[in-house]
Amino acid sequence: MRKVVVSLFAILAGTSVAMADDAGCAAFKWPVTREEALFAAAPAAQSGADLSVGEAADVALAPVDAISFTAPPERAPAAGTFGATANVAVPPEGELQISLSDEAWIDVVQDGKAVKLAAFSGIKTCPGIRKSVRFKLQAGPATLQLSGAKKPNLKVAVLAPE
């Protein structure tokens, strides 16, 4: 009887893992197919780079204590993590969707102040994309602040929401 219970539990556990894997990238609140395509060919960039809407970059991060953030990150980064900043020109529509390949915190700063995010979607079952967030901003310059990353590289896509 015990072997039957253990076997059933193993089958159920395997089924739930398979179902989560099947959900994959479709589990995001909005499509991330553009990010998948952009991340595959993302060019290298350094902290402080200019990012264009509709493009992605593979950003080389620096130790977070070496980054000069425009405004303090909303979530204080842990010691030993990595970060970067990037500049982006917000289009007249004023909305940006920023997606990351791995875990990290995203702040967007405009006019010296951090802007609250409008929507968030993050999952762990999509290979190569960890989170996607949306911001409502004013047209003009903005600074992306990335912090708390555990790896020294991070792919970043900056898009207009679909």
pLDDT tens-digit profile of 129-156?
999 999 999 999 999 999 999 999 999 9
- Whether 26 is in a domain gets the answer no
Share of residues in the chain with pLDDT > 70 (%): 86
- Whether 54 is in a domain gets the answer yes
- Whether 17 is in a domain gets the answer no
Task: Categorize the per-residue pLDDT at 4 as very low, low, confident or very high, splitting at 50, 70 and 90.
Answer: very low
Domain that holds residue 69: 32-159
Residues 18-77: pLDDT tens digits? Answer: 333 447 899 999 999 999 999 999 999 999 999 999 999 999 999 999 999 999 999 999
Contacts 24+ apart (CB under 8 A), 78-82: 78/148, 81/147, 81/148, 81/149, 81/150, 82/149, 82/150, 82/151, 82/152, 82/154
The structure tokens 């993302």 sit at: 42
Per-residue pLDDT at 69: 96
* Separation of alpha carbons 145 and 113, rounded Å: 12
Task: Categorize the per-residue pLDDT at 15 as very low, low, confident or very high, splitting at 50, 70 and 90.
Answer: very low
Q: How many domains does the chain have?
A: 1
Residues 67-78 as b/e (b if ≥16 CB within 10 A, e otherwise) read: bebeeebeeebe
Pull the structure tokens for residue 10: 């193993």
- Whether 10 is in a domain gets the answer no
Q: What is the CATH number of the domain that holds 45?
A: 2.60.120
- Whether 123 is in a domain gets the answer yes
* Separation of alpha carbons 27 and 121, rounded Å: 9
- Whether 130 is in a domain gets the answer yes
Tell me the whole-structure pTM to 2 decimals. Answer: 0.84
Residues 88-142: pLDDT tens digits? Answer: 999 999 999 999 999 999 999 999 999 999 999 999 999 999 999 999 999 999 9
Per-residue pLDDT at 1: 53
Q: Return the closest-CA partner of residue 99 out of 152, 25, 24.
A: 25
